[in-house]
Structure 1
């Protein structure tokens, strides 16, 4: 067995508490977080500047927990609610909101009563949100004013058990709402209302978690397509997240000074595992402010960097493309405070990394690799050994293997699927034993996560082993950092009366990284015309989130290539598309 681990200069992973919730770890100095008296406010609104100190956030969490306990009708939080006839899976709270400063405090308040939170992509439509709420058995839902209509539709969907009185609003700046939105939101209680209500209620009893309890206690159910298929609930324990936070901190000490509090950009969706762990928990734990923006608009993005003197930008490749192509606009703002840009969620090309370094020489570009199933980060670039195009070195406490198609371990410079074993690898999938069996395997005395990604380990001139992501063995399409499963779109396309068979693959796109393209076999009697293609694209646009639309177009073919067992051979379609683009001189 060939095992790859962190470089020798990376500190050993220290012991971590395994009997506390993640919120205590982030906010309580007893567990190693930066001194609250010397820390910046954990979450600051990038539009208004509003924020709360560490102590104030902790108080808001406690007060909100009292009210949430009352809403969920939980009598005994230390028995999973069993005394009240509730299991832990009847204390799931869905969170469907744009970014805001109370997003994580809400999650901590739910955890405070031994509950579970399930973050949902704010780009979801009602059907997609309903699927997640139904699958996770959510009993309450927190949303924000601009998303209220969609949230209400989902809450009223068949099989969803959320009454109107259990729908709450997270406070956001008024500039993000309209008068009509605010009118519709009247009568719904807000997170602030729950905090005020909690001040009048009795304290929540202390959680009495025994040793190792947080290793198996679910904190978040985040939805991912994993190595393929429809979205699945990923069971992330408190200890999984605590571990990854410590791993990132220890590794980052090689190039970041955590003794001086700073401010970082928190623009990426808080529901996404990258933002949830790396930005909105690791940075506050280190004493820094996560400066929250609700969405990307170039001017507000640049003003935020300038006004708050942000030192670290967490981005995805499509946003870096915007920066590269709009240097004239960026030069009008003072971006001198920025020391690093970290990118993740989708691969960053060597070419773009080098271009950014050339355009903005005072900024170092680093890249990370991870997945929901590893509670985020497996490896990322250290500022002391930047290799453009690489995903950096492995974090402490993580063991990796690279195996070929026959399951044999391979050495440096040989491609194969990445396997990961560590305390940050999640518990598994919710109610999906088949996916668990396919994704998590036990070999050589360790439990391994199959990444579904083809990778190569190479040694840099400094002697450090770097991980390069070559291709995805899994069939996911990455669009602006979001995962889209071809099977989901194919299943929807097959419901169209003109579609006999279909397959969906990714095609390159400068703005989003990739876009879905559909290969379609029509039923007899229908014409393969531009009008039919437009009709099929509209069929997807009318029923799916914006990022799932067929931006790569529709191509009609005679038959979908399949294996003898009936599996779609998307690789052949990708090769076909690559050859076509090559002939046309398009980007591959």
Structure 2
């Protein structure tokens, strides 16, 4: 059985496959909110400086002209994957100016994070790098190791004073390139063959996929356009309900290099005419001050920020947060118990969860304010189809039956760069078309509203097998987070001579509690094979990725080291 979108949602129209993403974003004929001088797509949450939509388009063209001169690339010559430019930067209002300038040259953008930068530069075959002054100590050695010359490292200015320092260091800045591009001749239009938008890579983003080390994901122009259209249709009724001409003010706090931010905050917001207030990093008081100052309406967040808010409710109470209407949570699971705590203090907030992955060019399902069910990942977006397969590979057609989630959509990516093994393990052909294995275990339920919701139970590789029973770590983590003295937690499997594997918890305390109290708490709520027979360790913090995913591998390594020390 294929699970499909709610029939009440608009159907997804044909996705353009000859339109470059940069044209789709900046040309009114493709359905975007019309460009005007009064429309500010990006505002710096620190300085208050902004770029109008019209100015941004001009800056993209000027920067593209300067880069053509600097790099010696021609718009309609050379293969796109031979024109890869990296961005390794803190959030800033010119991140997308740089991205679209690279796309305007028919090039490929590869946004990086601080982990394994040299590996990413090498595997993407990056030819030039944009960074910011605070990251130069990391960027320059990594670029040197990857064979990128110093004259191909460019600086995105984050403050006026910083540009003076950067100039003395000998790196060209974006502002200098813009000045040069202003006097250079216009670039020719991008000329594409039929279907090229579906074949040509726009972004190389890094993901571990269902297993293994981070791999370069080839995201086509059409993939991004598809998810923009899917999300636009999905949110249409909610936005019209607020006001027919509604334009949102959203927080741009999540790293722009992360797929969640790159597609939903950076691209979708621009297309819809929303304003993104950009912050370079999370610091609780400046974050709250920015919400208050700019009367932000929508927060795109990850679970660690929600947990920080819950642990600092007194600090939150000092700020006027009445402008907030919606919190859109993604990138990692959020326990219903955590959501309930925040809603008890701010009942008017609509806290909605979304589910997606880099390989689907992000969003697959999302909750909507009109139908919020705590713990669910919401409705299937228009244009998506989902298969659930049990452990034997059989299709699941019933509700409340968990299975691996496989997804079909025009936003499903081209594949992994130069990695045939990973592609064969991840992408599959079915009679209905090409699907991607997500590595996630999910189930569908029909809610009281009469709409199917998807619940993500856990990751397949994280499931604990106790006497043949499958135990999802996330289920036990959600249970523990319902205990008031638990601030954060993670559950892993540990070996057991009798049962094969048993669950063990690592807990960050938010008050006084003993191991026995927590053991009793779980035993009162879960069947015996889900009890924490592996024990409970109290630790200072749970290791997590920047997006909030629990790094259980590090906890398993810690446990193995502890066991080895005893031998």
Give the TM-score taking structure 2 as reference length. 0.81
Alpha-carbon separation, structure 2, partners of 1:419 and 1:98: 33
Name 1:96's counterpart in structure 2: 88
Mapped pair 1:461 → 2:448: yes
User: 1:214-363 residue pairs with structure 2 within 5 A?
Assistant: 214-257=197-240, 259-363=245-349
What is the CA deviation profile of residues 32-73 of structure 1, one whole-angstrom value per residue up to 9, with x for unaligned ones? Answer: 011223863111111111111111000000000011112221
Name 1:36's counterpart in structure 2: 35
User: 1:55-454 residue pairs with structure 2 within 5 A?
Assistant: 55-75=54-74, 77-79=75-77, 81=78, 87-121=79-113, 123-124=114-115, 128-157=116-145, 160-173=146-159, 182=165, 186-257=169-240, 259-410=245-396, 411-454=398-441
Superposition deviation, residue 558 in structure 1? 9.5
SS at match of 2:559: strand
| CA 285–185 in structure 1, closer or farther in 2 if over 3 Å, else same | farther
SS at match of 1:78: coil
Whether the 8 Å contact between 1:369 and 1:380 is mirrored in structure 2 is yes
Name 1:502's counterpart in structure 2: none
Whether the 8 Å contact between 2:43 and 2:93 is mirrored in structure 1 is yes
Paired residues in the alignment total 484
Name 1:579's counterpart in structure 2: none
Alpha-carbon separation, structure 1, partners of 2:223 and 2:270: 17
What is the CA deviation profile of residues 482-501 of structure 1, one whole-angstrom value per residue up to 9, with x for unaligned ones? Answer: xxxxxxxxxxxxxxxxxxxx
Alpha-carbon separation, structure 2, partners of 1:506 and 1:201: 63
| CA 349–250 in structure 1, closer or farther in 2 if over 3 Å, else same | same
Name 2:53's counterpart in structure 1: 54
SS at match of 2:127: strand
User: 1:6-21 residue pairs with structure 2 within 5 A?
Assistant: 6-21=5-20
SS at match of 1:554: helix
Alpha-carbon separation, structure 1, partners of 2:373 and 2:439: 23
Superposition deviation, residue 407 in structure 1? 1.0
SS at match of 2:237: coil
Alpha-carbon separation, structure 1, partners of 2:504 and 2:31: 43
What is the CA deviation profile of residues 419-441 of structure 1, one whole-angstrom value per residue up to 9, with x for unaligned ones? Answer: 00010000000000010000000
Whether the 8 Å contact between 1:19 and 1:210 is mirrored in structure 2 is yes
Unaligned runs of 5+ in 1: 82-86, 479-504, 512-545, 561-588
Single out whichever of 316-325 and 423-432 deviates more from structure 2: 316-325
User: 1:504-543 residue pairs with structure 2 within 5 A?
Assistant: none
What is the CA deviation profile of residues 520-547 of structure 1, one whole-angstrom value per residue up to 9, with x for unaligned ones? Answer: xxxxxxxxxxxxxxxxxxxxxxxxxx98
| CA 551–400 in structure 1, closer or farther in 2 if over 3 Å, else same | closer
Superposition deviation, residue 506 in structure 1? 10
Alpha-carbon separation, structure 1, partners of 2:95 and 2:118: 20
What is the CA deviation profile of residues 437-489 of structure 1, one whole-angstrom value per residue up to 9, with x for unaligned ones? Answer: 000000114100000000011111001110111010145999xxxxxxxxxxx
Name 2:489's counterpart in structure 1: none
SS at match of 1:236: strand
Whether the 8 Å contact between 1:227 and 1:475 is mirrored in structure 2 is no
Give the TM-score taking structure 1 as reference length. 0.78
Unaligned runs of 5+ in 2: 464-472, 475-502, 510-549
Name 1:585's counterpart in structure 2: none
The correspondence for 1:554, drawn from 543, 546, 558, is 558
Alpha-carbon separation, structure 2, partners of 1:5 and 1:431: 32
Alpha-carbon separation, structure 1, partners of 2:251 and 2:404: 32
Alpha-carbon separation, structure 2, partners of 1:106 and 1:88: 16
| CA 548–417 in structure 1, closer or farther in 2 if over 3 Å, else same | closer
Name 1:538's counterpart in structure 2: none
Superposition deviation, residue 104 in structure 1? 1.1
| CA 38–13 in structure 1, closer or farther in 2 if over 3 Å, else same | farther
Superposition deviation, residue 154 in structure 1? 0.2
Whether the 8 Å contact between 1:313 and 1:340 is mirrored in structure 2 is yes
Alpha-carbon separation, structure 2, partners of 1:108 and 1:474: 37
| CA 559–409 in structure 1, closer or farther in 2 if over 3 Å, else same | farther
SS at match of 1:108: helix
Alpha-carbon separation, structure 1, partners of 2:335 and 2:262: 24
Alignment RMSD: 2.6
Superposition deviation, residue 29 in structure 1? 1.2
| CA 27–510 in structure 1, closer or farther in 2 if over 3 Å, else same | farther
Superposition deviation, residue 149 in structure 1? 1.2
SS at match of 1:555: helix
Superposition deviation, residue 174 in structure 1? 5.9
Superposition deviation, residue 184 in structure 1? 8.6
| CA 183–429 in structure 1, closer or farther in 2 if over 3 Å, else same | closer
Alpha-carbon separation, structure 1, partners of 2:552 and 2:408: 32
Alpha-carbon separation, structure 2, partners of 1:107 and 1:428: 21
